[in-house]
Amino acid sequence: MKITNSTKQLAIKLILSGIFSILGFLAGSIYSEALPVFLPVILQAMSKTLILKLLLGAIIVCVLLLALSFVVYFHFKTKLETQFGVSWDKDNEPYCPIHEKPFSRHQTKINENRATGLRCVKCNETYHLISDEANKLTLPEAKKLRKSIKIT
């Protein structure tokens, strides 16, 4: 995955969570200030059935907002599939199979002058790309094999 795409996704998540946090704080502060003033007047002016309908509407809106937040979360979540001992995204980039974070650097192992491992910075582990025949693969070889498997 390109760094610009991951940065864009992270920025969208942070901006949305910030907006919803501010809106929640504003709603809570307005509610706490207005409730003691308007609640007695509202309760005397409205019928009980209207109050129950408003309460039911508020509950439905909360449930719909919760469902919307799950939809947004799963829409932006990276979908990964496992192959050669690591996870891969749709852009054919490898991820740590445990943390589902992109590998930030390649670990070079001297094995016939080939780099055969990927290092995860978070867990500090080296993951080797292993083919079905138990051979170590380099990253370009693994990407090439993945493309050939998807085409056929």
Domain count along the chain: 2
Statement to judge: residues 71 and 92 lie in one domain: no
**pLDDT of residue 63 exceeding 90:** yes
- Does 85 lie in the same domain as 69? no
Give the least confident one: 5-9, 30-34, 106-110: 106-110
> Which burial class, exposed, middle or buried, applies to 59 when counting CB atoms under 10 A from its CB (0-12, 13-18, 19+)?
exposed
* Residues 41, 103: Cα–Cα separation, whole Å: 60
pTM: predicted TM-score of the whole model, two decimal places: 0.46
Same domain, 115 and 71: no
Same domain, 61 and 96: no
Please give the residue range of the domain that contains residue 143: 81-151
Please indicate, yes or no, whether residues 89 and 145 belong to a single structural domain of this protein: yes
CA distances (Å), origin 129, targets 35, 97, 104, 126, 138: 61, 12, 15, 10, 7
Name the domain boundary from 76, 102, 120: 76
Q: How would residue 152 be classed by pLDDT, with cut points 50, 70 and 90?
A: very low
Q: Do 62 and 86 belong to one domain?
A: no
